[in-house]
Amino acid sequence: MSRVFLVGAGPGDPELLTLKAARLLASAEVVLHDSLVDPRIIALANPSARIIDVGKRCGRHSATQSEICDLLVAEALAGHIVVRLKGGDPMIFGRATEEMDALRANNIDFEIIPGITAASAAAAGTKISLTQRNIARSLHIITGHGADGGLPNHDFCALTKTGGTLAIYMGGETLPGLAAHFIESGMEPSMPALLIENASLANERHLPATIATLPGLHATHAATGPVLILIGEALRESATIPHLETVTA
């Protein structure tokens, strides 16, 4: 039986944690967690568990990925029940591959426990379905952050042509460049776009805009929490929903 678990902590609201994640936390001997994981979730860990913050946020690393892998492997080889807690879903921009590779290389069995990803929480918070018949037939989860910290090397023309909804993770800092690339690639400047900060938390904020106006709005309402950017026709109704127009924080 596995004693190592890569666990999705969901987008923030502790009530969005799976029952399985809560059960594993309660039986963990060691918890390694990212900084985006809400303290109320970490508080569900077994009181005698060792809690290690390996968090990294906005490119600021408190432990390198290879240090995290080494720690995970060392704790597992010591025979501990290890919960590696990651924000959202571990398999979506969660650096799970590196950790799974390290565990496999050491013949350590593990399980993955999925979590609710930020895009699902953003859809719930805004009450906007990301896929809608005849409007948005696909959903594209993409990063806004290239490997070198700049813009990612996406095929912006292809993404623009899909006509689906784009959910951009880690795109807060590169938003001006992303918007410019989409518009240069043929996206209408009036294409609806919506920025969601702190999805699922009490201080969730929504900035409805267009792809042309969102960078300016974002610069004015400086975000301090994680932000997700949604772009596409499915977001058109966001402009007419009154509660989205106010910043709620």
Kindly list the catalytic residues: 34, 56
Q: Which is nearer to ligand SAM, 27 or 35 (CB)?
A: 35
Min dist CB 170 to ligand SAM, Å, is: 4
12 token code pair: 């923030």
Token readout for 139 is: 């959903």
145 or 181, CB closer to ligand SAM?
145
Position closest to ligand SAM via CB: 88
Question: Which CB atom, from 46 or from 55, has the smaller least distance to ligand SAM?
Answer: 55
Sign of dihedral through CA atoms 200, 206, 210, 216? negative
Length of the chain: 249
Shortest Cβ distance from residue 7 to ligand SAM (Å)?
A: 11
Q: In whole angstroms, how close is the CB of 182 to ligand SAM at the nearest point?
A: 17
Exposed e or buried b per residue across 169-192, where buried means at least 16 C-beta atoms within 10 angstroms of its C-beta: bbbbbbbebbbebbbeeebeeebb
Instruction: List residues binding ligand SAM (CB under 6 A).
Output: 11-12, 36, 86-89, 92-94, 117-118, 121, 169-170, 196, 198-200, 226-228
Three-state SS at 141: strand
Please give the Cα distance from 136 to 122 (Å, whole number).
Answer: 16
